Amino acid sequence: MLYCKSDERGCFVLYCPNCNEYHFERFGCNSRLCSPCGKRYHDDWAERLAAKIIKGVVYRHIVFTLPPELWFVIKEKRELLKVISDISYRTIQKAFSKMKHIEKLTPGVIAVVHPFGKDIEFKPHVHNVATEGGFNRNGKYIPLGEYIPYKLFHLLWQEEILNAFKDYVSKEMIDSLFRKYPKGFYVYVKPERIRSGKRLIEYLGRYLRHPAIANSRIIDYNGKGVTFYYEDNKGNKLFKTMSVFDFISAIIQHIPDKHFRLVRYYGVCARRKTGIIKSFIQQSIIASSNPVQNSNKRHSLCPKCRSEMEFIMYCKKPPPIDRSKITVWLEMQ
């Protein structure tokens, strides 16, 4: 990460025939923890995923949060991150089934565990993009409509979480959390109904998979401390300063355990349910006339004129600082 996009990593040499200039595309570190490289990885993931999602169906973004009393429990027992992901789907499925008075309604859900809050502290929560409806036992898709009963989600989420945590916390703590939060644990259902594929890609990239902090949020570094800003739930901009070592510790605590999957697919989005999706499309409940075309060809645009540049070569050594010597340098490679 320290040498991300530095000369030591080498570069591609590109040429813009329109501007008659050479450009150098330096290599990143490809670490998901790195802000620019992680953002690129997440954007690519969102585009690939959007091509596989059922088109023509309305999606909703649902965020499941937990009270502070459970944060430390999960931090000490990291396996609970999978538990809260599984329970978020179970809560959606039960809520949707109750709303339509159906024994079992199976929606499609993509769940992503975020172990960090906006202030990069350990505040685990789960983001879900869910179909606004689901399949009944006969394979028929049942839409829900726009109305979402928030109270039902809050109470179901609290009940499911505390039942699952019985083996990890004391009965006294569970009882106290029921008393302290009589309206349930907070679940935020974003009001926007996501219809277009483009908007869905934006949601997937922006909300579901992104680094703990973007470089643009870091406003000062003096060698000893790091100052960054974040927005609270009311949109207020807040500033936070941490020592360098505290900042690094806060970032690396969000690195998932080996082989742990932060992104999970449930219901009709799971691999074992792909047959239902195909059947759904074949029945023409939805239709897509513009399938996404994937291309493995690399395109690099000129930063000045935005024309497509030509690939010249790969080089391990950095180019000379004096750009007037570029032609001689290229001949020596």
245 shares a domain with 267: no
pLDDT tens column, 272-330: 555 555 455 444 333 333 333 444 455 688 888 888 888 887 777 666 656 565 565 55
Q: Give 136 or 28, the one with higher predicted confidence.
A: 136
In the chain, at which residue ranges do the beta strands (DSSP E only) sit? 11-16, 21-26, 59-64, 108-116, 122-131, 133-135, 141-143, 187-189, 218-221, 225-231, 237-243, 263-267, 310-315
Domain boundary among 236, 253, 270: 253
Domain that holds residue 236: 214-253
203 shares a domain with 223: no
Instruction: Name the packing angle between helices 171-180 and 150-164 (round to 10°).
Output: 170
Q: Considering the domain boundaries, does residue 22 fall inside one?
A: no
User: What is the pTM assigned to this prediction?
Assistant: 0.68
Q: Give 243 or 330, the one with higher predicted confidence.
A: 243
User: What integer pLDDT is reported at residue 160 of this predicted model?
Assistant: 96
Domain boundary among 253, 273, 306: 253
Q: Considering the domain boundaries, does residue 319 fall inside one?
A: no
Q: Give 121 or 49, the one with higher predicted confidence.
A: 121
169 shares a domain with 117: yes
Q: Give 161's pLDDT tier (boundaries 50, 70, 90).
A: very high
User: What integer pLDDT is reported at residue 285 of this predicted model?
Assistant: 38
Query: Three-class SS of residue 258?
Result: coil
150 shares a domain with 85: yes
User: What integer pLDDT is reported at residue 241 of this predicted model?
Assistant: 92
Q: Considering the domain boundaries, does residue 119 fall inside one?
A: yes
Amino acid at 287: A
**CA 6 – CA 187 distance, rounded (Å):** 43
226 shares a domain with 200: no
**Mean of the per-residue pLDDT values of the chain:** 79
The token pair that represents 292 in the structure block: 């996404």
Quote the distance between the C-alpha of residue 271 and its chain's center: 19
pLDDT tens column, 84-119: 999 999 999 999 999 999 888 999 898 988 888 888
135 shares a domain with 163: yes
Q: Considering the domain boundaries, does residue 185 fall inside one?
A: yes
pLDDT tens column, 248-275: 888 877 777 777 788 888 998 876 555 5
Mean pLDDT of 143-155: 90
Q: Considering the domain boundaries, does residue 304 fall inside one?
A: no
**CA 254 – CA 115 distance, rounded (Å):** 6
**CA 95 – CA 158 distance, rounded (Å):** 13
270 shares a domain with 150: yes
**CA 37 – CA 217 distance, rounded (Å):** 16
115 shares a domain with 247: no
Q: Considering the domain boundaries, does residue 329 fall inside one?
A: no
CA nearest to 207, candidates 282, 113, 88, 104 = 113
Q: Considering the domain boundaries, does residue 47 fall inside one?
A: no
**CA 24 – CA 27 distance, rounded (Å):** 10
200 shares a domain with 96: yes
CA triple 123-189-75, angle to 5 deg: 15
242 shares a domain with 177: no
* Highest mean pLDDT out of 3-7, 47-51, 111-115, 202-206: 111-115
> Could you give the number of structural domains in the chain?
2
229 shares a domain with 169: no
pLDDT tens column, 15-44: 899 988 888 787 776 665 565 665 666 666
Amino acid at 297: K
**CA 40 – CA 34 distance, rounded (Å):** 10
**CA 265 – CA 272 distance, rounded (Å):** 10
pLDDT tens column, 163-198: 999 999 999 999 999 999 999 999 999 888 887 666
247 shares a domain with 122: no
User: What integer pLDDT is reported at residue 268 of this predicted model?
Assistant: 85
The token pair that represents 174 in the structure block: 């569970």
Q: Considering the domain boundaries, does residue 145 fall inside one?
A: yes
